[in-house]
Amino acid sequence: MAGMSTTRVPLIAGNWKMNLDHLQSIAFVQKLAWSLKDAKHGFASVEVAVFPPFTDLRSVQTLISADKLELKFGGQDLSAYDSGAYTGEISGAFLKALDCDYVIIGHSERRTLHHETDEEIGAKVTAAIKHGLVPVLCVGETADDLETHGPSAVPVAQLKAALATAAKGVDIVVAYEPVWAIGSGKAATPAQAEQVAAALRVALVDLIGQEAADATRILYGGSVKASNIAGFMREPNVDGALVGGASLDLSEFSSIAQFQKHVGT
Ligand code: 13P
């Protein structure tokens, strides 16, 4: 069975969306680091990453590097282009120059509010990889899609479109975020998340090869909280979470990152 032979280091990722300015980002990351240190968090067994707004990234980079924190970070989007006349856009090269590890691509809010197409999202994935960033590729169905097409058809189609030209063996993270679960307080059930994550992993085998598919972290996102993370993490194909609202609450996010301590509660 896919995924059985590889151990994947879980990833707990906080997507701040358009919250916290650069001063607030410094205070938050500092407190998060203290909180995880107090809890003796093992970063080798659970990776923790934050995704602040672009204007915070330099501050977050400076803090993480000065204090030698083990937190990872990334941008919430990037341009498909390297440089040039693209007013308001941010190049993957700039994110890499700020030591970003990751970049979120194709979040449902960008698909909806910025009309990003599968084709553009695919071009952004290519750009991220070119600049040495690991894409956190978001896929997910709306409530209507779920009713019309069933649970995994739309997320799998989005994955195939975004990775159509991806090379075998690429290092990516996939985030399954059902649109109906984002910010709604109505999370998917662990079984629902597992069903789609398993289908995504099967599709990944064709797209990027067996070995890379086994190594790919598939995150669940949508109303994740400290009180429901453990259920998701018990599922074999769910390797972490992309957390929105709860990532802005220090004790919640810290507790989500420590899910290993409350698996079984
Ligand atoms: P919430 O955790 O607020 O539902 O948001 C999920 C999300 O969109 C993360 O990218």
The per-residue pLDDT for range 73-121, each reduced to its tens digit, is 999 999 999 999 999 999 999 999 999 999 999 999 999 999 999 999 9
With contact defined as beta carbons under 8 Å apart, do 29 and 63 qualify? Answer: yes
* Closest ligand 1 atom to Cα of 222: 4
85 CA to middle of ligand 1, Å? 32
What is the rounded CA–CA span in Å between residue 57 and residue 53? Answer: 7
Ligand 1 pocket, residue 140 CB under 6 Å: no
* Average pLDDT of the segment spanning 36-51: 97
- The 10 Å Cβ neighbour count of residue 62 is 13
Number of helical H runs and strand E runs in the chain: 12, 8
The owner of tokens 């960008």 is 110
Both tokens of residue 57? Answer: 């990234």
* Closest ligand 1 atom to Cα of 185: 4
Q: Is the pLDDT of residue 263 over 90?
A: no
pLDDT one-digit tens code per residue, 119-128: 999 999 999 9
* Average pLDDT of the segment spanning 30-51: 98
Pick the closest to residue 57 from 13, 87, 102, 12 (CA basis). 102
Ligand 1 pocket, residue 182 CB under 6 Å: yes
pLDDT one-digit tens code per residue, 180-209: 999 999 999 999 999 999 999 999 999 999
* Closest ligand 1 atom to Cα of 247: 2
pLDDT score for 7: 86
* Average pLDDT of the segment spanning 215-232: 98
Q: Is the pLDDT of residue 177 over 50?
A: yes
CATH fold, domain 2-100+113-244+253-261, is TIM Barrel (3.20.20)
Ligand 1 pocket, residue 244 CB under 6 Å: yes
Q: Is the pLDDT of residue 27 over 70?
A: yes
pLDDT score for 187: 97
Residue to mutate, 107, 184, 224, 249, ligand 1, most ligand atoms under 8 Å from C-beta: 224
With contact defined as beta carbons under 8 Å apart, do 159 and 135 qualify? Answer: no
Residue nearest to atom 1 of ligand 1 (CA): 244
Strand 173-176 with 134-139, pairing = parallel
When mean pLDDT is compared across 143-147, 204-208, 233-237, 259-263, the lowest value belongs to 259-263
Q: Is the pLDDT of residue 162 over 80?
A: yes
182 CA to middle of ligand 1, Å? 5
pLDDT score for 264: 55
Pick the closest to residue 136 from 259, 9, 13, 2 (CA basis). 13
Residue 248, Cβ density class (10 Å: 0-12 exposed, 13-18 middle, ≥19 buried) = middle
When mean pLDDT is compared across 6-10, 23-27, 103-107, 234-238, the lowest value belongs to 6-10
Q: Is the pLDDT of residue 25 over 90?
A: yes
84 CA to middle of ligand 1, Å? 32
The owner of tokens 């909180």 is 35
Residue ranges per structural domain of the chain: 2-100+113-244+253-261
pLDDT band per the 50, 70, 90 thresholds, residue 6? low
What is the rounded CA–CA span in Å between residue 176 and residue 188? Answer: 10
User: Would you call 105 helix, strand, or coil by DSSP?
Assistant: strand
DSSP code of residue 7:
-
Average pLDDT, the chain: 96
pLDDT score for 265: 46
Ligand 1 pocket, residue 106 CB under 6 Å: no
